[in-house]
Amino acid sequence: MEKGLFLFLAMVSFFFLSPVEASSSSRPDITVTPSKIGQGEISLLSIERKGAEPEVTWMGKKITLVADEKNEILSGFIGADLTTRPGRYKLKISRADKANPHSIVISVLSRDYGIRRLTLPREMVELDADTLKRVKEEIRVVRELFIRPAGSSLWRGKWIRPVAGTVISPFGPRRIINDEERSPHSGVDLKAPEGTPVKATNRGKVALVADHFFGGLSVFIDHGGGIHSMYFHLSQAFVRAGQLVEKGTTVGLSGCSGRATGPHLHFGVRLNGGRVNPINLIEISGRLER
């Protein structure tokens, strides 16, 4: 095939097969973009504001919606945990006045994030009894943050990158450390030389600042509406629990505290407790104003 023609066809197929397909709903006042969700991914839900307040449920959890500036569109995120079983799930929408309940079937697709093999010093992997006890307690405290009632949304508009650096270790792969399977990588590692200011990805309330065995000096922000963000391996934290932070507030400085082989920022997001790709949230939220 002629080179020019091939290039043309490649471009055409790229545009038509673009993974962010427009939304799909028999109801023009409700859109879900993209219309299918991969494991560990997010979709943006938009509902026209008319009549009684809509109530949205996804995988048994109420989805909190935020109004745009003109108060015409309500937006929220629905997502699938890294290990949600692929299949078809119902997004249920009802109104307070019970008029016109509606549901949309949304597919969760399987995603292969691959496997990452790591070799780490034995003392970082094989934990003694005291360290194991410490780690279990830290896991319990963090889990508690995610199961607290969602509260009203504090976040507004687009989500931003906490540091400018590129992704040096992606979201999702299963991790085999010193030949043993461990938890998958549930955030992204962003390039950040020691001492880089780390910014809050959106508005929220600091839920926890702690020094954890794996995450090192860590900041957790509760953005309300069931969304949390977390920043690990910091060298310094400038915020304390309970403090309200605006989008872009410097919450600390990057470093390599905890189990890190060099300075970087581990950035993670939970959506209703589900482990989702934070870069996906930033990209999907780019459709929102502000």
Give the 3-state secondary structure of residue 80: coil
Binding status of residue 212 toward Zn ion by CB under 5 A: no
Binding status of residue 259 toward Zn ion by CB under 5 A: no
Binding status of residue 275 toward Zn ion by CB under 5 A: no
One-letter amino acid at 43 equals: S
DSSP letter (8 states) at residue 214? T
Q: How far is the CB of 261 from Zn ion (least distance, A)?
A: 10
Nearest to 77 by CA among 92, 58, 50, 49: 58
Cα 51 to chain centroid distance, Å, stands at 31
Q: Which of 228, 266, 270, 275 binds Zn ion (CB under 5 A)?
A: 266
Q: Which is nearer to Zn ion, 95 or 213 (CB)?
A: 213
Q: Which is nearer to Zn ion, 86 or 170 (CB)?
A: 170
Q: How far is the CB of 21 from Zn ion (least distance, A)?
A: 30
Q: Could you say which residues in the range 147-206 bind Zn ion, by CB under 5 A?
A: 189
Buried b (16+ CB within 10 A) or exposed e, 164-184: ebeeebebbebbebeeeeeeb
Contacts with Zn ion by CB under 5 A: the residue count is 2
Q: How far is the CB of 253 from Zn ion (least distance, A)?
A: 17
Q: Which is nearer to Zn ion, 79 or 187 (CB)?
A: 187
Element (H, E) at 81: none
Q: Which is nearer to Zn ion, 106 or 251 (CB)?
A: 251
Residue 218 tokens, joined: 């860590």
Contacts of 281 (CB under 8 A, 6+ apart): 42, 77, 159, 201, 269, 271
Q: How far is the CB of 268 from Zn ion (least distance, A)?
A: 8
* Residues at the contact surface with Zn ion, assessed by CB under 5 A: 189, 266
